[in-house]
Amino acid sequence: MSKIGKFAVSEKIVEVEYPDIDGFFIEVCYLSREELQKIRKRSSKISWNKITRQREEEIDDDKFLKHYAEKAVRGWRGLQIKHLAEMLPVDLEGANLDEDVPYTMDDALDLLRYSPDFDRFLGDVMNDLTIFAQEERESEEKNLKSTSNKPSVQ
């Protein structure tokens, strides 16, 4: 195994705050290129093109989004009904606006489906490796502080 391969992880989960909604935190799992290719492969189908008389690979967008949501969004906290109006067109008449929207796979999929901003946010997080490396830096800083605070032995 290569030196880089020894350290690489295929998944890493971090909690990030959604920028437009205070207190709405999403658990996002980093997906490696290999994992994204697996999702793509599971979401593709081969069809016959009558015009070119050749087989063509076609991505089923609904399948892809479902598999992507399952892998990438691992949970959330702090989302309330009133926040939905900031993410997608909704009719909230008669709803308890302060009611929490607990994480479910179906709701994560619907947010990706109906909210271009949430979809874009998730893509931005996935492409910003500093978010996934931040946890490591904070841990290293904490270790450095704890070792520098120890009294020296003389």
117 domain residue, yes or no = yes
**How many domains does the chain contain in total?**
1
Residue 141 has pLDDT above 80, yes or no: no
Structure confidence by residue, pLDDT tens digits, 72-98: 999 999 999 999 999 999 999 999 999
Q: What token pair was written down for 90?
A: 């909704």
101 domain residue, yes or no = yes
Angstrom distances, CA of residue 84 to CA of 3, 23, 140: 45, 14, 37
Q: In this predicted structure, what is the pLDDT of residue 10?
A: 73
Q: Confirm if 72 and 28 have CB atoms less than 8 A apart.
A: yes
Q: What token pair was written down for 153?
A: 């032995």
Range of the domain at 21: 8-31+61-121
* pTM over cut 0.85: no
